[in-house]
C-alpha cells in the first residue's frame, strides 16, 4: 500500500511550490491528492488507502453522479507525458494556464517534471485574461513551447488580437476538457494557432487521444453499446475506496490488457482513420419520441456568426416530454441572438425536431471542473414552463 497526503496547490506562480512533491511522488514517494489553496482538502473515504505505486489521486469532474477519486500510478503519468512529447515533436517548456489541481492542470506540471523543464504560470487571481496570458507568454523561454487550454479560454484569447499573436507563437496548444466546436478550431487555424484537440479524462491521466488519433501508448475501441473504451499504459488502477465502481468501469481482456469503459458514444471515421466523440450517452435528448444528440446542435449553433459558445440540454415539457434548450454566449461585439433568429438560421441545417425551442444568452456558461459544462446547472437556467 502507498501512503497519501493532501497537497495544496496555488494558482499562478504559487503552483511552482508543488513541483518537488510531484517529483517525489513520480519517483515512488508518497502519493499526493491535490486541492486548490483556500479550498477544503478532498474528502477521502474512511480507511481507504491507495494502491501500491499510486503517485496521484485526482477527482473526476463529477459531470454526472458523484465525483470519484482516480488512482494514477507514476508509470501511467510518465507514459502519458512521454507520449505527449513524442506526438508534439519533442519535450518543451509548458505554460500553466488553468487551475493546477484538476488533471489537465496538474499534467502540465507533470510534463514539466518529466521533461526536466521549468514551467511558466498564468496568474489567475483576477480570472483568466488575455493580458495575463500575454505577460506569461513573454516570460516563457525554451526552444519548444506548449500550453493547454479549455475551449472557453481559447475563445477569449482569439477575441484579443495581442493574445492571439502570443498564442500563435506556441509550437502546440492542447485544447480539451470539453468538445471544441469545428468553427472555433477553423478560426484558430486561420489565425495561425496550432491547436491539438485532446480527449481523455482523469481515469486516463488526461488526454490520450490527440486530434482523433490515440497516443502511441493508448488504445481505443467501441463496445456493443456504442461506448468508447480506452486502454493502454496511461490508465488509473481504479477509484480510491470504491472497489464496486472500479469493477464497473475497469476490466481486463483475454490478453491481460486493461480497459476503461467511458459513458461517451463515439465512432472511427473509416475515411480518415480518426476517432470522433459523439457525446455522452446520458446527454441524449428525447423530444416527441425522437432523439437529439446535443453535440450536433451545439456545433450548428457555434457555426452561426453571433454565437461564441453553446451548450444544449433537454428540459421537461408537458407536450414533448423534453425540448431542446440552448444556453449561448454571444460573440464579442455582436448583438445577443434571439430564439426566432436562431431557429430561422438553423432551419434546413438541422431537422425540425432538433431546433432549439428555448434559448438563454449568458455571459459565461456554468462549469463543473475546468472547461466542462455543468449541464444540470444549465438546465436550471430555464423555467419549468416557457
Q: How many CA atoms lie within 13 A of 76 on its CB side?
A: 28
Q: Percentage of the chain surpassing pLDDT 90? A: 80
Q: Are residues 251 and 316 in the same domain?
A: no
Q: Indicate which CATH number applies to the domain containing 235.
A: 3.40.50.12780
Span 76-100, average pLDDT: 97
Q: Which domain holds residue 297?
A: 284-379
373 vs 198, more confident: 198
Q: Looking at the structure, do residues 206 and 322 belong to the same domain, yes or no?
A: no
Cβ burial of 375 (10 Å; 0-12, 13-18, 19+) is buried
pLDDT at 64: 43
Residues 256 and 318 in one domain: no
Residues with Cβ within 8 Å of 65's Cβ and at least 6 positions away in sequence, in order, are none
pLDDT attached to residue 282: 86
On whether both 138 and 241 belong to a single domain, the answer is: yes
**Alpha carbon 11 to chain centroid distance?**
18
Strands 218-222 and 227-232: antiparallel
Which three cell numbers, joined as nine digits, stand for 296? 450536433
Residues 240 and 180 both lie in one domain: yes
Is the confidence at residue 63, as pLDDT, over 50?
no
Mean pLDDT over the full length of the chain: 93
pLDDT digits (tens, 9 = 90+) for 338-378: 999 999 999 999 999 999 999 999 999 998 877 788 998 99
Q: Determine the average pLDDT of the residues in 15-44.
A: 91
Q: Say which residue, 125 or 169, is predicted with more confidence.
A: 169
* pTM (predicted TM-score): 0.87
Does the structure show a pLDDT above 60 at 62? Answer: no
Can you give the CATH number for the domain in which 356 is found? 3.30.300.30
Q: What is the pLDDT of residues 112-159, one digit of tens each?
A: 999 999 999 999 988 899 999 999 999 999 999 999 999 989 999 999
Please check whether residue 385 lies inside any domain of the structure: no
Lowest mean pLDDT among 8-22, 50-64, 327-341: 50-64
Q: What is the torsion angle, in degrees rounded to the nearest 10, for the CA atoms of residue 370, residue 346, residue 357 and residue 289?
A: -90
C-beta separation of 67 from 372 below 8 A = no
Grid look-up 507568454 returns: 137
For the chain, how many structural domains are there in total?
2
Q: For residue 173, give Cα distances in angstroms to 195, 338, 339.
A: 5, 33, 34
pLDDT at 46 over 60: yes
Is the pLDDT reported for residue 285 higher than 70? yes
CA distance 45 to 58: 13
Query: Do 176 and 44 lie in a common domain?
Result: yes
**Same domain membership, residue 240 and residue 169:** yes
- Among the candidates 220, 247, 276, a domain finishes at 276
Amino acid at each position: 500500500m502507498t501512503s497519501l497526503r493532501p497537497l495544496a496547490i496555488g494558482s499562478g506562480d504559487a503552483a511552482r511550490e508543488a513541483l518537488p512533491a510531484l517529483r517525489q511522488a513520480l519517483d515512488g514517494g508518497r502519493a499526493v491528492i491535490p486541492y486548490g489553496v483556500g479550498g477544503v482538502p478532498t474528502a477521502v473515504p474512511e480507511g481507504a488507502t491507495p494502491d501500491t505505486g499510486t503517485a496521484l489521486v485526482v477527482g473526476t469532474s463529477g459531470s454526472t453522479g458523484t465525483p470519484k477519486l482516480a488512482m494514477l500510478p507514476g508509470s501511467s503519468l510518465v507514459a502519458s507525458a512521454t507520449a505527449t512529447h513524442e506526438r508534439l515533436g519533442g519535450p518543451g517548456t509548458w505554460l500553466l494556464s488553468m487551475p493546477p489541481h484538476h488533471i489537465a492542470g496538474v499534467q502540465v506540471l507533470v510534463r514539466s517534471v518529466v521533461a526536466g523543464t521549468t514551467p511558466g504560470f498564468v496568474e489567475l487571481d483576477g480570472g483568466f485574461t488575455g493580458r495575463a496570458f500575454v505577460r506569461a507568454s513573454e516570460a516563457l523561454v525554451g526552444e519548444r513551447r506548449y500550453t493547454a487550454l479549455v475551449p472557453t479560454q481559447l475563445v477569449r484569447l482569439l477575441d484579443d488580437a495581442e493574445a492571439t499573436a502570443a498564442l500563435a507563437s506556441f509550437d502546440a496548444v492542447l485544447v480539451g476538457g470539453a468538445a471544441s466546436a469545428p468553427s472555433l478550431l477553423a478560426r484558430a487555424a486561420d489565425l495561425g494557432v496550432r491547436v491539438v484537440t485532446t480527449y481523455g479524462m482523469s481515469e486516463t491521466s488526461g488526454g490520450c487521444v490527440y486530434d482523433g488519433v490515440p497516443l502511441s501508448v493508448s488504445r481505443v475501441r467501441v463496445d456493443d453499446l456504442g461506448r468508447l473504451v480506452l486502454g493502454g499504459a496511461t490508465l488509473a488502477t481504479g477509484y480510491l475506496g470504491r472497489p464496486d465502481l472500479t469493477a464497473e468501469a475497469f476490466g481486463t481482456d483475454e490478453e491481460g490488457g486493461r480497459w476503461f469503459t467511458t459513458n461517451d458514444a463515439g465512432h472511427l471515421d473509416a475515411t480518415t482513420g480518426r476517432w470522433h466523440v459523439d457525446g455522452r450517452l446520458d446527454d441524449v435528448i428525447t423530444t416527441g419520441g425522437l432523439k437529439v444528440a446535443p453535440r450536433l446542435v451545439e456545433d450548428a449553433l457555434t457555426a452561426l456568426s453571433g454565437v461564441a459558445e453553446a451548450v444544449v440540454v433537454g428540459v421537461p415539457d408537458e407536450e414533448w416530454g423534453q425540448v431542446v434548450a440552448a444556453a449561448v454566449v454571444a460573440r464579442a461585439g455582436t448583438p445577443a441572438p434571439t430564439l426566432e433568429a436562431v431557429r430561422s438560421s438553423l432551419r434546413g441545417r438541422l431537422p425540425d425536431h432538433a431546433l432549439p425551442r428555448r434559448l438563454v444568452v449568458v455571459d459565461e456558461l456554468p462549469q463543473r471542473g475546468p472547461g466542462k459544462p455543468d449541464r444540470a446547472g444549465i438546465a436550471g437556467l430555464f423555467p419549468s414552463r416557457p
